[in-house]
Amino acid sequence: MSDASVAPLHGAALREGLLESGFDLRGEIRVPPGEGSKSMARLEAVLEEMLARGADRRTTVIALGGGVVGDLAGFAAAVALRGLPFVQVPTTLLAQVDSSVGGKTGVNLSAGKNLAGAFHQPRIVLADTDTLLTLPPRELRAGWAEVAKHGLLQGPMWEWCEANGRAAMAGDAEALRHAVLESCRLKAGVVAADEREEAPEGGRAC
Gap between the Cα atoms of 166 and 123, Å rounded: 33
Q: What does the chain come to in residues?
A: 206
Return the amino acid letter for 177.
R
Query: According to the model, what pLDDT value does residue 12 have?
Result: 96
pLDDT tens for 59-117 read: 999 999 999 999 999 999 999 999 999 999 999 999 999 999 999 999 999 999 999 99
pLDDT for position 113: 97
Where in the chain are the domains? Answer: 2-193
CATH number for the domain running over 2-193: 3.40.50.1970
Angular region, 7: left φ>0, alpha ψ -120 to 50, beta rest:
alpha
Of the two residues 201 and 166, the one the predictor is more confident about is 166
pTM check: above 0.75: yes
Contact 18, 64 (CB under 8 A): no
Question: How many other C-beta atoms lie within 10 A of the C-beta of residue 139?
Answer: 16
**How many CB atoms within 10 Å of residue 46?**
21
Confidence of residue 203 (pLDDT cuts 50, 70, 90): low
- The pLDDT assigned to 200 comes to 76
CB 36 within 8 A of CB 43: no
Torsion, Cα of 22, 27, 33, 34 (10° steps): -90
**Count of CB atoms situated within 10 Å of the CB of 36:** 12
Residues in CB range of 173: below 8 A, 6 or more apart = 129, 130
Report the distance separating Cα 141 and Cα 183, nearest Å.
15
